[in-house]
Structure 1
Amino acid sequence: MNTFTRTVAASLLATALHVAHAAPPVEPARIAAATVDGTHVVTADGVRLYVKDWGPKDGPVVTFSHGWPLSSDSWESQMLFLAEQGYRVVAHDRRGHGRSSQPWDGNDMDHYADDLAAVINALDLRDVTLVGFSTGGGEVARYIGRHGTGRVKKAVLVGAVTPFMLKTDDNPDGAPIDLFDGFRAAAQANRAQQYLDIASGPFFGFNRPGATVNAGLVQNFYVQGMQAGHKNTFDSIKAFSATDFRPDLAKFDVPTLVIHGADDQIVPPAMSAQLVPRHVAQAEVILYPGAPHGITDTHKDRLNQDLLAFLRR
């Protein structure tokens, strides 16, 4: 394991000092209070969530939840493709990310899930297929855990942080806390350099022998990351590393597709995708041989077709 990979590992586990568990049901009034203001949904606590709403408004609905430290822009290939196939595709920038507000508080999975619920309810979306990548996969899981599947038709977890990233006594498959401590330390030291190192290294698999670094992908990751708030992305490390999604996955009662890169160095499939069927009876797992974490870009054509096939079932 090289120095950067060790740093990423250390960083990834750092924020797990306080393990988050499934929360009690949310007061419906809090979600109902969300309003639409142009290209934003405004939550009950005043956070403005930037929303993309593409494709025919009467088409089957697919929502997309993005990864850390990115924005809804990271889904543009999938959204453009599915919109052209007749789907209504909706994605928001998570609180603290992209063009959304940067609140000091609320940078945790419960708020992320409630924000997704606010978008779904404010736009009155129904029979939705929820798609989440990496941290966004956790957001999808926590949404179902807190809000159920009354508006949900299917779910897709792509390179997701589910079931539980942190190694604990009852989760020996997780990663040690030292890993995430290093990730958080790197963010505090120089988050701009951290984003460049992640993107030019393990995120897209550019650190593998024979790989050629794609400058466009690296720069796109960097730009999205630097749009986000420092406090927000820092807090989010805890959200994706220390949240136990096992109780949330137990509430999945819809068809679920799990897609993951077999060579994912950020969220290794042995601690994530391959464990989901233990908790979700209807889960189907597809591993892309040799693929890295960032498969929404590196394997976008295959991912687009797999998503379309799952939606059409």
Structure 2
Amino acid sequence: MSKIVTRDGVEIYYKDWGKGQPVVLSHGWPLSADSWESQALHLASNGFRVIAHDRRGHGRSSQPWDGNDMDHYADDLADLIEALDLRDIFLVGFSTGGGEITRYIGRHGTGRVAKAGLISAVPPLMARTEANPEGLPIDVFDGLRAASIADRSKLYRDLASGPFFGFNRPGATASQGMIDAFWLQGMMAGHKNAYDSIKAFSETDFTEDLKKFDVPTLIVHGDDDQIVPIGRSAHAAAKLVANATLKVYPGAPHGLGDTHKQQLNDDLLAFARG
């Protein structure tokens, strides 16, 4: 397997498909690079080099006890980009991965980045604070932590069969394949790593990081996202990012990379080529 070792000794797995301008894809919680397979195949088949990695503690990467936070995620991404000497990158993050690439730009700048993409992404801040009164109450994330401790296998099945893909909506037709893929990827993640990551994606404030974006940025979000509500994320992020293009998918859930994969594939390819 293709791996790099980070500055603090963590092994990061990555897949590297195709040739051309690099597209780097950062996945959501508690998933792995496999969650990007439709987009990776499409972009690599259309003249791009696609790199998708498993975040520390997820998928086939190491499961360190410490460092399961956005600063380490961003530094791991920097180490991967530098190890592969990637330049002129289209840097794309889904959900928690959107936080990862945002913190990467905040900490490491855009010297190697040509464009960015935030897909169903968590920035600027999910949790409710005095400065973010419209955020979700901490009880929501405490509930995720409690469910993870009690029976995380059931938690992942419940998320996938319910709000993640919108299968809990009236008239929705659930895909057992999508549910199984989500569960399998989630169970490959380290228990401690996935638990810690809940704090990372919910309580990290990316406001100042978003203000450092100085490259064309595509923001895609479904207006029926029950996991990361659009008003607290995409709409707010679009106001902070200069030169942002916001695309709202009517009726789309959080996991639109699967439920609306051809639409997302087409939008990513068009933005990459534009």
TM bracket (short chain): over 0.9
- Work out the number of aligned pairs and report it: 274
Q: Could you tell me how far apart the structure 1 residues matched to 2:98 and 2:162 are?
A: 22
Q: CA deviation at 1:99?
A: 0.3
Query: Match for 1:124: what amino acid?
Result: D
Q: Does 1:40 align with 2:3?
A: yes
Q: CA deviation at 1:178?
A: 1.1
Q: CA deviation at 1:278?
A: 2.1
Select which of 71, 89, 110 maps to 2:32.
Answer: 71
Q: Does 1:154 align with 2:115?
A: yes
Partner of 1:49: 12
Select which of 240, 256, 261 maps to 1:279.
Answer: 240
Q: Could you tell me how far apart the structure 2 residues matched to 1:285 and 1:176 are?
A: 26
Q: CA deviation at 1:44?
A: 1.7
Q: Could you tell me how far apart the structure 1 residues matched to 2:57 and 2:129 are?
A: 29
Select which of 193, 199, 214 maps to 1:238.
Answer: 199
For residues 60-110 of structure 1, what are the alpha-carbon distances to aligned partners after superposition, in whole Å with 9 as ceiling and x for unaligned? 110000000000000000000000101000011000000000000000000
Q: Could you tell me how far apart the structure 1 residues matched to 2:47 and 2:239 are?
A: 34
Q: Could you tell me how far apart the structure 2 residues matched to 1:234 and 1:170 are?
A: 25
Q: Does 1:310 align with 2:250?
A: no
Q: For 2:179, what is the secondary structure of its paired residue?
A: helix
Partner of 2:42: 81
CA RMSD of aligned residues (A): 0.7
Question: TM-score, with normalisation over the residues of structure 1?
Answer: 0.87
Select which of 241, 257, 260 maps to 1:296.
Answer: 257
Q: Could you tell me how far apart the structure 2 residues matched to 1:72 and 1:104 are?
A: 21
Q: Could you tell me how far apart the structure 1 residues matched to 2:244 and 2:125 are?
A: 16
Partner of 2:177: 216
Partner of 2:64: 103
Q: CA deviation at 1:126?
A: 0.2
Moved more, 119-128 or 173-182: 173-182
Moved more, 62-71 or 271-280: 271-280
Q: Could you tell me how far apart the structure 1 residues matched to 2:139 and 2:184 are?
A: 28
Q: Structure 2, unaligned stretches of length 5 or more?
A: none
Q: Could you tell me how far apart the structure 2 residues matched to 1:136 and 1:277 are?
A: 17
Q: Structure 1, unaligned stretches of length 5 or more?
A: 1-37
Q: Could you tell me how far apart the structure 2 residues matched to 1:312 and 1:299 are?
A: 20
Q: CA deviation at 1:277?
A: 2.1
